[in-house]
Amino acid sequence: MFAVGMHGQYAPEYSVYKNKYPNARSIRLNQETKIHIALNKGELSVIQEDIEEDLYLDENAKFGSKRALNFSSFFELEDIEASSFTYENDKYKEIKVETFKEKDELDQSFYDDTKSLNFIYPNLREGSKSRLKYSQKIKNPRFLSPFYFGDFQPVRNNKITIIADKDIVFKFQEFNTENLNITFKVEEKRGNKIYSWQLGEIDEYEYEPNAPTFKKIIPHIIPIIKSYKIDGKTINLLNDTADLYKWYYSLVKDVNKEESDEQLVAVVNDLIADKDNDVEKVRAIYYWTQKNIKYIAFEYALGGFIPREANSVFKKKYGDCKDNSSILYKMLEIAGLKGSLTWIGTRSIPYSYNEVPTPIVDNHMILSYQNGNDTYFLDATGRFTPLEVAPSFIQGKEALIAVNENEYILKTVPVVPAKKNALVEVSTIMAEGTKLVGTSKAEISGYQKNDYLYALEDALTEEKIKELYNNSLRKGNNKFLIDNLKEHNKYAYDKNLIVDYSFSIDNITKVLGDEMYINLNLNRKLSRFKTKEDRKYEIEYDYKKYYNYTTNFTVPDGFKVDYIPDNLSISNDYVSCEISYEPNGNQIKYNHSIELNFLSLNTEQQKEVNTLIKKAEKSYKEIIVLKKQQ
């Protein structure tokens, strides 16, 4: 238990919660949302009121004094009240916030013209409280927000209330609420239905590295307006995916109706002039767009949903994800090909279109191209992405592909197999006393190659380039040093990156008497994927991975092989690992392969993987023994 000071400067509730949550910086005493939805002259009016009350439990209170509320053309802030409360003379003294400053927030990529209203709670210190009350007018009823029960701090009281006209039909989609004792009530009063959810005290959710999006961890409810009645007629709003698509399509149907820019036509004709088939034409256009249209997110109002004209994007040479999709669409059209605008959520959004047919289900736009039975997912916001592979952050996600005003296709983006994201390395080494020296050829493909290429863009000198490879290709110990290197296919879209280099590793072998001891397990990559035994949450990675290391070790003159470790072959549903030793004359051929066949692991799966890794780590300690010949 934590013993608080006895100087009377803290309120009794501070003592209670400081003892109950000794490691928490704050507790949310009350978190309440009330949403009023009315029918006015055939339109839906939505007002949301929020209250947040916090108690600060340590000396870091002042670091929580800066706050910001986001708003946009869809969310209009109203009636903001914010105050600090300091405990003095056995009571709280209120200090109101007087100054609010508006700021643009341009770091989003899809639908936002977000601004923030910034303010500072005055005189916050340990034992202080803060209270924030505000309302916002939600101008489009499709944009109802989730309500989260709990946070990364303890919450004493969670409550959401929706007061709506009885002719409004809802769907309430719950996530991660299975083990919570949430009280749900429905009442009817004066032509309204009142829905309420309440949950008492809930512990904080802890941060863990590589955890998935908080949307997969923190319990929440997403309210969805399915339909409403006017004069006895039912108006569907977001009853299903078809309703969402109908609205999306209405926003893009009139884009790119103007005549194509002559220079854009010339660029397309030049790109496809020598291409033998449609796929190669698409490839040429796609790569040109990645290289020449810079990604910049800059959105206002419905511009966050509507792509800009391709001619405009071509002239400016920059745009956001929708703009990149727009110019791709137009360039394919000029080439006599058909692309389809496609809405998709990145992996930070864990919902399907069937579960949540609202704009919060996606946050990105790409272009799809169909060739026979093959669908190509084109996202030109990045670089170095081959035609056949979608970016890693949309793997496994549903894509909403436009066909025409009334038709769409839902298709899942394939997850790239581990062996397509490979680091394959072949080395030849020999011992020089306690040092190993050698040469190596590393071939890097898929998403692993993309990671290298993005990193190499920031490595602007030979020294920085060598440092990058020295860290990423390290073998044995921290005495590993690359001497010379040569890169092949650097920045090539459809070829693997190849790095040839020579290296040395000091203090890696041991000689005792007439015996030499060498551990050929120079790459122990698998150990990096072992998780803590007490981890609470799922762990998530960007992509599946494959590693293969072949090392040809030349036995020094005057020595013979005295002992070679046993081979190892282990696997489960998520990981496979093989280590083999093959003597061949005066050489020993060592091979180590690792296949990481997962994007995420829940806690039980992590335990299975940890068990396998521990077996591999025993083999990592094995050494070969060489003996001097008599």
446 and 325 in a single domain? The answer is no
Question: Quick one: pLDDT at residue 42?
Answer: 85
With a CB cutoff of 8 Å and minimum separation 6, the contacts of 430 are 436, 437, 438, 553, 554, 556
275 and 224 in a single domain? The answer is no
User: pLDDT (tens digit, 9 = 90+) per residue, 90-147?
Assistant: 999 999 999 999 887 654 444 455 788 999 999 999 999 999 999 999 999 999 999 9
Gap between the Cα atoms of 538 and 602, Å rounded? 4
User: pLDDT (tens digit, 9 = 90+) per residue, 586-622?
Assistant: 999 999 999 999 999 999 999 999 999 999 999 999 9
CB 53 within 8 A of CB 130: yes
Alpha-carbon distances, residue 534 vs 104, 205, 531, 606 (angstroms): 41, 14, 9, 10
306 and 448 in a single domain? The answer is no
β partners of residue 594: 547, 577
**Token pair for 72:** 């946009």
524 and 439 in a single domain? The answer is yes
Whether the per-residue pLDDT at 5 is higher than 70: the answer is no
User: pLDDT (tens digit, 9 = 90+) per residue, 499-550?
Assistant: 999 999 999 999 999 999 999 999 999 999 999 999 999 999 999 999 999 9
Query: Quick check: is 4 in a domain?
Result: no
Gap between the Cα atoms of 262 and 398, Å rounded? 36
**Token pair for 618:** 């025993």
**Token pair for 332:** 């394919």
Q: Order of strands across the sheet with 587-596?
A: 480-488, 497-505, 435-444, 422-432, 545-554, 587-596, 575-584, 568-571
Question: Quick one: pLDDT at residue 383?
Answer: 87
Whether the per-residue pLDDT at 457 is higher than 80: the answer is yes
465 and 608 in a single domain? The answer is yes
Query: Quick check: is 21 in a domain?
Result: yes
Angle of helix 278-292 relative to helix 262-272, nearest 10 degrees? 130
Gap between the Cα atoms of 415 and 540, Å rounded? 14
476 and 560 in a single domain? The answer is yes
Taking the CB of residue 580, how many other CB atoms lie within 10 A of it? 15
Cα dihedral sign for 233, 238, 240, 241? positive
Question: Quick one: pLDDT at residue 64?
Answer: 83
Could you give the number of structural domains in the chain? Answer: 3
34 and 183 in a single domain? The answer is yes
Which of the listed residues 352, 385, 412 is the one where a domain comes to its end?
Answer: 412
Query: Quick check: is 293 in a domain?
Result: yes
Gap between the Cα atoms of 98 and 562, Å rounded? 81
56 and 144 in a single domain? The answer is yes
Which of the listed residues 412, 427, 447 is the one where a domain comes to its end?
Answer: 412
**CA neighbor of 46 nearest in space, from 152, 116, 139, 168:** 139
**CA neighbor of 279 nearest in space, from 234, 335, 231, 232:** 335
283 and 227 in a single domain? The answer is no
In terms of Cβ atoms closer than 10 Å to its own Cβ (0-12, 13-18, 19+), residue 569 is exposed
User: pLDDT (tens digit, 9 = 90+) per residue, 50-100?
Assistant: 999 999 999 999 888 999 998 877 889 989 999 999 999 999 999 999 999
Whether the per-residue pLDDT at 630 is higher than 80: the answer is no
Whether the per-residue pLDDT at 302 is higher than 80: the answer is no
Question: Mean pLDDT score of the chain, rounded to an integer?
Answer: 93
CB 497 within 8 A of CB 487: yes
Helix (H, G, I), strand (E, B) or coil at 340: strand
CB 56 within 8 A of CB 128: yes
Gap between the Cα atoms of 273 and 615, Å rounded? 56
**Token pair for 610:** 């940890």
Question: Quick one: pLDDT at residue 344?
Answer: 97
**How does residue 277 score in pLDDT terms, banded at 50, 70 and 90?**
very high
CB 296 within 8 A of CB 318: yes
| 8-state DSSP, 155 | B
Which of the listed residues 236, 267, 292 is the one where a domain comes to its end?
Answer: 236
Query: Quick check: is 2 in a domain?
Result: no
Query: Quick check: is 388 in a domain?
Result: yes
Of all residues in the chain, the percent with pLDDT exceeding 70 is 96
Q: In b/e form, how buried is each residue of 464-485, taking b as 16+ CB within 10 angstroms?
A: ebbebbbeebbbbeeebebeeb
Gap between the Cα atoms of 72 and 113, Å rounded? 6
Q: For the domain that residue 93 is a member of, what is the CATH number? A: 2.60.40.3140
Torsion of CA 355, 356, 360, 361, to 10 degrees: 40
Whether the per-residue pLDDT at 6 is higher than 50: the answer is no
Gap between the Cα atoms of 427 and 436, Å rounded? 11
- First-to-final CA distance of the chain: 69
Residue type, 144: L
- Which pTM was predicted? 0.92
- Domain holding 397, by residue range, is 243-412
364 and 473 in a single domain? The answer is no
Query: Quick check: is 210 in a domain?
Result: yes
**Token pair for 262:** 């002559």
Helix (H, G, I), strand (E, B) or coil at 38: strand
DSSP-assigned letters across all residues of 264-305? HHHHHHHHHTT--SHHHHHHHHHHHHHHHSEE-----GGGGT
457 and 364 in a single domain? The answer is no
CB 570 within 8 A of CB 616: yes
**How does residue 329 score in pLDDT terms, banded at 50, 70 and 90?**
very high
Query: Quick check: is 6 in a domain?
Result: no
With a CB cutoff of 8 Å and minimum separation 6, the contacts of 513 are none
**How does residue 471 score in pLDDT terms, banded at 50, 70 and 90?**
very high
Of all residues in the chain, the percent with pLDDT exceeding 90 is 88
Q: For the domain that residue 300 is a member of, what is the CATH number? A: 3.10.620.30
Gap between the Cα atoms of 477 and 435, Å rounded? 11
Q: For the domain that residue 449 is a member of, what is the CATH number? A: 2.60.120.1130
User: pLDDT (tens digit, 9 = 90+) per residue, 364-407?
Assistant: 999 999 999 999 999 999 889 999 999 999 999 999 999 999 99
197 and 49 in a single domain? The answer is yes
**How does residue 234 score in pLDDT terms, banded at 50, 70 and 90?**
very high
Residue 176, phi then psi, degrees to nearest 5: 60, 25
Query: Quick check: is 623 in a domain?
Result: yes
CB 244 within 8 A of CB 336: no
Question: Quick one: pLDDT at residue 1?
Answer: 40
Whether the per-residue pLDDT at 4 is higher than 50: the answer is no
